[in-house]
Structure 1
Amino acid sequence: MTNPTERAIFLQAIEEENLDDRLAYLDSACGDDANLRQSVEGLLAAHEQPAALLDHPIGADRSRPFLARELVDESVDHIGMQIGPYKLREQIGEGGFGLVFVAEQEQPVRRRVALKIVKPGVGSKEVIARFEAERQAVALMNHPNITQVFEAGVTTDHRPYFVMELVRGLPITEFCDEKQLDVRDRLNLMIDVCSAVHHAHQKGVIHRDIKPSNVMVTLHDGKAVAKVIDFGVAKALGQKLTDKTVYTRFFSMIGTPLYMSPEQAKMSSLDVDTRSDIYSLGVLLYELLVGATPFDRGRLDSAGLDEMRRIIREEEPPRPSTRLSTLTAERIRSLGIQSGGMGPSQSRSFSSDLRGDLDWIVMKALEKDRTRRYDSAASLAQDIRHYLQGEPVTARPPSKFYQFQKFARRNRVVIGIVTLVGCTMVLGTAASLWQMSQAIQERNAKDEALRGAMVAKAEAITAKQEVELFATYLTQANELVASGHAHLNAGQWSEAARDYDAAVEIQPSYYLPRVQRAQLYARLHLWPEAAKDYAIALANGARTTQPQWWGVPALFRFTGHLGEYQRLAEQYQVQLMKEPEEPDWLLLRGLMVGDPAEPIALV
C-alpha cells in the first residue's frame, strides 16, 4: 500500500462500524476515483475476512462496491436460537460488529433480557477485543442509570456474548418530545445522565459516544428513568478492559461527529480524557433544550472529513436561546416540528427559559478549551441543580469588574505605575482642556456679540425698508383718496370708486380710503357696502369724532352690525361724558336711533 491517501482512507473506513456510514465516507473520500475506491474496498474485505480473498479477489468484480459486511454469514437464523439459558426472540439492534436481541431466560429466574452477540463472520481479533472491552466496561458499572450486565459467555460457534438489562424505551430526545416535557423535567433527566457518566468516570471508563440513541428513557412506576447504554467505543483510564489488544489508529475518529469533542476530532485517542464526555453531555443538553444540535446535521453530513473536523475544532456554536429563536420561525411556518414534537408556543416558552443561566451552563460544557469546561459530570449536574433551585450557577461569566480585580491583583506594580502616569497625564490634560475651554468661551462670546450686532443691523435695515415702503404706499393711497374725492365732488362716481378701490388695495389697513369709499357708497344708497367699510375702518382705529361718522351709528343699527354699533355708542358716551354741560348734539342724535336689541327693518 504505497499510496498514503489509500492508507488513510482505509484506516478511517474500518472505524465506521455502520454500513451506511462507511459507504457515505467512501463516497466522500474517494470521489470519482474508481480505482482508489476498488482498492480500498478490497483492503476492507481482506481486513474483515482474509479467507474471502480466495473467492473475491481484489478488483474481480468492478460492477458493484464490495464491503466487509457482504462477508457476514447471513444464513444464520438467530430467532429461536438457544444460547445457554436464553432463547432469542426478537432482534432490536445492530451495530458494526454486534447484534442485539430480546431473549427469554427460563432458569433460574424467568425474565426478559437484552443479549448482545458478535455477528457471525466478523470475529477478527480487533472486533473481539472491542466487544470484550465493552462487555467489561459495562460490567464495571453499578448505577441505576446504566444498563446492568447479568452474565457473559461464548456460544458454541465461539462468538462472545453478554446479557444485560432490557431497556424498553426511547432515545432521550424522542422521549422528551413525545411526552412534551417542560424544561424542568428535561433538566432532571439530564441530571440522571450526568450522574451515570460521572459513575463511569469514577470507574475509570470514558464513554466517548454519548448521544441520544445511547441514552434510553423508560418509565418505571410512571417515572421517567434514563439509562446510558452502548460502551462499544469506551476507553479505560489507568486500567485494561481486556487482555486482547484494542488499538485505536492514529488517524481515526472515535465517536459520532455531531456529539464529538474538539479533541476527539483531532483523530487521535492519545489526548482524550473525561472532559471529552463533558462536551458530549453539553451537546446532548443543547439538543434537549433546543431541538437541534449545536452544528447543523446537514452541514456536517455534506462537509468533507477535513472541513468537518475544522468545524468541530474551531467554530463556536450559537447560544441555545439564539439558536432556538432562529428555529422558532421555521417551526411556526411549518405549524410545529414534525420530527421534534415541539410546537411554536412551546418553542417560545423554551426560548425565554433558556436566556441567562441555562445558556451559560450549556456553553461552559461546550467550551473548545477543555480546561474551561466543567471538571466533571458531577459539576455539570450540580450547576443544573443550582438553576432548578434558583441559586447562582458557576457557569455565569465573571463580571468585568471581577476580571479587572483579578488582573489588578496579578499586576499591582504595573497597575501602580500606569495609574501614576495616567493621573499625571489626566491632570495635565485637564489643565490644558480648562485653558482651551476658557479661550473657546471668550471666542464664542465675541462671536455671539458680533452675530448679535449683525442681526440688529439687519433688523434695522429691514425695519427702515418697511417704514419707507409703508410711507410710499401711504403717500400713494393719500393721492388716490384725494383724486377720488375730486371725482366725487364732480359727480364722477365710477372714477371716484376706482381711485378708492386702488387706495384700499395699496393700504388695506389704512382707514381713510375706506371711510371715503363708505361715504361714496352711502351717497349711492349702497348701505351694506358702506356699513362694511365703516366697520373695517372702525377696527383699524379711525377717528370717529369727525363729521363723516355722525350718521354711522344709525347705519350700523339699520344694517345689522350691532357689535360695531355698540362699540361706536360706547365711544360716543365716553366723549359726551367729558363735557356734560355742553353736549355735542350731533353725537347725541346718532345715539337716539332706538334700542339695539330690537330689530329694525331697513326702509
Structure 2
Amino acid sequence: MDVCNGRRRMIRTPRSLRAYKRLIEAQNSNANIKTKPEVKREMGKVLRGLTVGNNKNSKDIDVPMEEDCFYMNFCKNESLAHAMVMAPRYSLLREVGRGSYGIVFEAIARRTGARVAVKKLQCNAPENVELALAEFWALASLEKKHENVVQLEECVLQRNGMAQKMSHGNKRSKQYLRLVETSLKGERILGCPEEPCYLWFVMEFCEGGDLNQYILSRRPDPRTNKSFMRQLSSAVAFLHNNNIVHRDLKPDNILISQKSGSPVLKVADFGLSKVCAGLGACGKDGDECPTAGGGGSGGNGTVNVNKFWLSSACGSDFFMAPEVWEGHYTAKADIFALGIIIWAMLERITFIDAESRRELLGTYIRQGSEIVPVGEALLENPKMVLHIPQKTRSTMSEGVKRLLQDMLAVNPQDRPDASQLKVRMDQVTCAA
C-alpha cells in the first residue's frame, strides 16, 4: 500500500502524453466528508417539486422559489391551468458526500418515507454545466432500468428564484436550451454569485457507501467477489448497449444498496460519461455535446460504441486505459477500467490518496520508489507483462486470470466488448 495522488482528470484532445501532463488540471476525487459549518444551514430544508402535465409539449414554466427549497407558489391563470402544486416532497437530512462539482444529501420523500439521494450542482462555470448535463443526458436517456445502475427520479433546474423540472430533450424549455448553450459556448451566461443557477438531481439512496468502504471494511469473501464481478459486468454491458460510455469507472463511483438484504452494486456518477448517439456521423466527439433533442436511443440506435472514437482524455489516473492517456479511444476503455477494479478487489491492492488520506482500491505498477497507473505504464512500455495475480498465495482461478489479462490488453481490439465480457464473466465465476 503506497501513498499517491488518485486524481480525476478532464482535458480536451491531447496530442502527446507530455502535453497532456503539462495541461492537466487535477480535480479532487469524490470523498465523503463530515458536515461542515457552512452547509449546516442546508439541513432540514424542504425540497419541493412541481408536476407539469407534459413538459415536452408545454410552455417554459417558471415559478417562484424560496431560498434553496423548491417552494412552488404562483398566480392562477389560463397558461398554468394544467399545472399542479405539490406538497413538500423531500426533506434534506444530512450531507453524505462532496465531489469536485456537487454536494450529495440524504433526504426523505415526505409522501412515502423512502430515503433518496439529492445531489446539488451549481452551474457557475461552463465546465460544471458540462458535467451536470452529461450526467442528466446519460441517466435521462435510459428507457429501461437496470438494478446495477443508479436510478434518476427527477432533475430540477433552479435559477433567479425560479424552478423548473427538466425533461430529456425538452426543446421548448428556454432554461434547458440556455444550459446547452452555456456548455457549448463555454461562456458564463447562466447567472452570477448574486443569482446562482443550480441543478438538483433526485436519485435512489445507497446506504452501503461505495465499493472502497464496503470491501475494505470486511473480511475477504469469495462469494461476494463473484457476485460483484457479475453485477459490474452486467451494468457495463447494459450501459454500452444503450450507447453510454461511462469514462470514470472506479470504486468511488460504485455504490452499494442493501435494501434487499444482500449487497447490490450501483454504477453512479455519470458526470464524465458520453452518450454516443446523436453526435454526428463522423464518430468523433471532440468538443461536441448532444443537441437539445439528442442523447441515447435506448439501445435502438445503430451506434457501435466500440467503434465510436472519443478524444476527451478524462477519468481517474489509476483506471485510465493506455489509449485514454493519448486521447483516442472507444468504449473499450471502460473494459480496462473494470479490469483494474476487479483485480484490485480480488487481491485487495490499495494505495493511500495523498489529498483525502483515504485508503482506496487500485492496481498500479511499481517503478523504483514510485507507483505508476497501469495504463500509463503500458503506454510507456507496451510490451510490459502484467503479473496477475500479484500475490503468491492468491486463490485466483486460471479462468479469472486469463479474463483479466484480456481486459487489460494494451491493444483495445484484444479486449472483449461488454457483451462478450458478461458472458465470459458468468462462465468463470460459475466455474471458479
TM-score (norm 2): 0.60
Q: Contact 1:17–1:97 (CA<8 Å) still a contact in 2?
A: no
Q: Which runs of 5+ in 1 are unaligned?
A: 1-6, 22-73, 326-347, 392-603
User: 1:227 — aligned with what?
Assistant: 266
**Is 1:110 matched up with 2:113?**
yes
Q: Identify the structure with the greater helix proportion.
A: 1
Structure 2 CA distance for partners of 1:311 and 1:8, relative to 1, 3 Å: closer
Q: Name which of 345, 348, 356 aligns with 1:288.
A: 345
Three-state SS of the structure 2 residue aligned to 1:222 is coil
Distance 1:214 1:317, change over 3 A: farther
CA distance in 1, matches of 2:115, 2:313: 35
SS of equivalent to 1:91: strand
Cα separation, partners in 2 of 1:308 and 1:375, compared to 1, 3 Å: closer
Q: 1:496-535 residue pairs with structure 2 within 5 A? A: none
Match of 2:97 in 1: 93
Q: How big is the alpha-carbon RMSD for the aligned residues of Structure 1 and Structure 2?
A: 3.6
Aligned positions of 1:26-425 closer than 5 A: 77-84=41-48, 85-107=89-111, 109-119=112-122, 123-141=124-142, 142-155=145-158, 156=161, 157-239=196-278, 242-243=290-291, 253-266=313-326, 268=327, 271-292=328-349, 293-296=362-365, 309-312=376-379, 314=381, 316=384, 318-321=386-389, 323-325=390-392, 348=393, 351=394, 353-376=395-418, 378-390=419-431
Which residue of structure 2 lines up, in the alignment, with residue 408 of structure 1? Answer: none
Q: Secondary structure at the match of 1:167?
A: coil
8 Å Cα contact 1:294-1:318 kept in structure 2? no
Considering fraction of residues, name the structure with more strand: 2
Alignment of 1:480-559 (within 5 A): none
User: Deviation digits for residues 442-476 of structure 1, max 9, x if unmatched?
Assistant: xxxxxxxxxxxxxxxxxxxxxxxxxxxxxxxxxxx
Instruction: Answer whether contact 2:30 2:100 (CA < 8 A) is retained.
Output: no
Q: RCO greater where, 1 or 2, for CA within 8 Å and sep 6 or more?
A: 2
- Compared with structure 1, are the counterparts of its residues 308 and 261 closer, same or farther at alpha carbon in structure 2 (3 Å cutoff)? closer
What secondary structure is seen at the aligned counterpart in 2 of 1:255?
strand
Shift of residue 263, structure 1, vs aligned partner = 1.1
CA contact (8 A) 2:44 2:93 kept: yes
Decide whether aligned partners of structure 1 residues 90 and 296 sit closer, same or farther in structure 2, where only a CA change above 3 A counts: farther
Q: Check conservation: 1:184, 1:388, Cα contact below 8 A.
A: no
Compute the displacement of 1:140 (Å): 2.9
The answer (yes or no) to whether the contact 1:101–1:116 under 8 Å persists in 2 is yes
Q: Give the 3 Å change call, closer, same or farther, for CA 80–234 of structure 1 in structure 2.
A: same
Q: Which has the larger radius of gyration?
A: 1
Amino acid at match of 2:136: R
Alpha-carbon distance between aligned partners in 2 of 1:228 and 1:298, rounded to the nearest angstrom: 32
| 1:299 Cα deviation after fit | 7.7
Q: Aligned residues: percent identity?
A: 23
CA–CA separation in structure 2 for the residues paired with 1:164 and 1:153: 12
Pair 219,308 (structure 1): closer, same or farther in 2 beyond 3 Å: closer
- 1:208-261 deviation digits (Å, cap 9, x = unpaired): 11111111223233212111111110012123575489xxxx996400111111
Post-superposition offset of 1:200: 0.9
Q: Distance in 1 between matches of 2:205 and 2:224?
A: 24
The Cα of 1:301 is off from its aligned counterpart by 7.2
1:44 is aligned to none
Secondary structure of the 1:170 match is coil
Q: Secondary structure at the match of 1:116?
A: strand
Task: Tell me by how many angstroms 1:117 deviates.
Answer: 1.3
Report the CA distance between 1:382 and its aligned residue. Answer: 1.7
Shift of 1:312: 4.7
Q: CA deviation at 1:11?
A: 4.5
Shift of 1:362: 0.7
- Cα shift readout 1:76-101 (whole Å, capped 9, x = no counterpart): 94223333232322111111111111
Q: Provide the rounded CA distance (Å) in 2 between the counterparts of 1:282 and 1:311.
A: 14
* Gap regions ≥5 residues in structure 2: 1-18, 32-37, 49-88, 162-195, 280-288, 295-309, 350-361
How far apart, CA to CA, are the structure 2 residues paired with 1:17 and 1:354?
Answer: 34
Deviation of residue 182 (structure 1)?
A: 2.9
Output the CA distance in 2 between the equivalents of 1:387 and 1:9. Answer: 38
1:158 to partner: Cα distance: 2.6
Per-residue deviation at 1:282? 0.7
Q: Give the distance between the partners of 1:308 and 1:150, measured in 2 at CA.
A: 35
CA distance in 2, matches of 1:386, 1:212: 23
Q: Measure how far apart 1:295 and its partner are.
A: 1.3
- The answer as to whether partners of 1:314 and 1:368 remain within 8 angstroms in 2 is no
Residues 308 and 110 of structure 1: is their aligned pair in 2 closer, same or farther, counting only changes over 3 Å?
closer
Q: Secondary structure at the match of 1:367?
A: coil
Residues paired across the two proteins, number? 296
Give the counterpart letter for 1:100 in structure 2.
V
Partner of 1:38: none
